Homo-oligomer: A and B are copies of this chain.
Amino acid sequence: MPKVFITGGAGYVGSHCIVEFLNSGYDVVVVDNMVNAIMGDKGKPTSLVRVEKLTGKTIAFHEVDLLNEAKLKEVFAANGPFDCVVHFAALKSVGESCKIPLRYYSNNISGSINLLNVMAECGCKSIVFSSSATVYGDPQKLPVTEEHPTGSCTNTYGKTKFMMEEMMRDVCVADPEWKAIMLRYFNPVGAHPSGEIGEDPRGIPNNLMPYVSQVAVGARPKLSVFGNDYNTPDGTGVRDYIHVMDLATGHVAAVKKIVDPALKGWKPYNLGTGNGNSVLEVVQAFEAASGKKVPYEIAPRRAGDIAVTYADCSLATKELGWKAEKSLADMCADCWRWQSKNPQGFQVSSNL
């Protein structure tokens, strides 16, 4: 089985993907800088302690910041050789990225350049990258295919994802030994069905579903819906929400693809369901799944928000043999199970 080096593995998407990698028999070595994660027992993030419990496997974990290239190289060289890297590590708050852009450029761009340098030096030239639908900017055509132009994103977070895509594209063009798969996530939500791991945002959640679930659990009084005058059926913004466990199977499929000698060069794939749901549809589905009321108020539009986006995922189905399986009801039910079992996320429950 392939041996995979995973960056940012303590985070939301990373930890759920690791469940799938371990259940599929992959050997993984995980690094994270712990800036957005809670440290648990045995020097491992609580999220990964839970993943060990869920899978019955032990995870090799190292606390490494990608900005420390020397330490990264030491850990990479000592634990390899690796068949590929799955690169989750990044700061990901759109709003914060516009307030402290230099920190985002340092962390996301310089950190990734260090990673590529270390990979090249160690002879590992295959990378699966956590990209984002944000690289498409405001979609010119729906559903969004991988052919859609990229780069017209207006926030720093999105620019870092776009720049990294371009860097990896150039690296693959220059050296045919390099392969890079860009997984362009639409809106990852939900949690592992066990409710043991899930999304654990620091401070006020930036994304809809964690906010809704915090309102449902009573941690916040009400949801603000930013704009109900968009050109959509109910006036609220429409997104393509994808269950994080579907995202996880997408990563396993991408790793299978990248270790196949037939794959060459740089390839982007959309990961979504292909369906758009409005904010109010998500609220309704969450109320149904949780049996809780989610009070909301209509607030002004947020600068930079787009009206509608959803994915055409046929390329991933055709070339990766992958398709999202879980419904919006699944996403809400699993998110609610995580939230209600862990009302304070990993912070407090890790001490239970």
Contacts and interface: CB of A to CB of B under 8 A. Distances in A.
Interface of A: 98-102, 105-106, 109-110, 113-114, 116-117, 120, 151, 156, 159, 163, 166-167, 170-171, 173-174
Contact of A113 (B109, B151, B173): B109
30 contacts: A98-B170, A98-B173, A98-B174, A99-B174, A100-B174, A101-B167, A101-B171, A101-B173, A101-B174, A102-B116, A102-B117, A102-B120, A102-B167, A102-B171, A102-B174, A105-B113, A105-B116, A105-B167, A106-B117, A109-B109, A109-B110, A109-B113, A109-B163, A110-B113, A110-B114, A151-B151, A156-B170, A156-B174, A159-B166, A159-B170
A159 B156 CA distance: 16
Nearest to A153: B166
A262 B16 CA distance: 51
A102 B116 CA distance: 8
Contacts of A151: 151
A120 B114 CA distance: 22
Nearest to A152: B151
Choose among A99, A109, A167 the residue with the greatest number of B CB atoms under 10 Å from its CB.
A167
A26 to B, nearest CB: 27
A133 B121 CA distance: 34
A106 B171 CA distance: 12
A94 to B, nearest CB: 12
Contacts of A102: 113, 116-117, 120, 167, 171, 174
A99 B110 CA distance: 20
Contacts of A174: 98-102, 156
Contacts of A171: 101-102
Nearest to A107: B113
Contacts of A114: 110
Choose among A102, A151, A156 the residue with the greatest number of B CB atoms under 10 Å from its CB.
A102
A170 B110 contact: no
A285 B290 CA distance: 79
A106 B100 contact: no
Given A102-B120, A110-B110, A151-B151, 20 more contacts: A98-B170, A98-B173, A98-B174, A100-B174, A101-B167, A101-B170, A101-B171, A101-B174, A102-B113, A102-B116, A102-B117, A102-B174, A105-B170, A106-B113, A109-B109, A109-B113, A109-B163, A156-B174, A159-B166, A159-B170
A254 to B, nearest CB: 22
A161 B229 CA distance: 39
Contacts of A100: 174
A349 to B, nearest CB: 35
A120 B102 CA distance: 9
Contacts of A113: 102, 105-106, 109-110
Nearest to A155: B170
Choose among A109, A110, A156, A166 the residue with the greatest number of B CB atoms under 10 Å from its CB.
A110
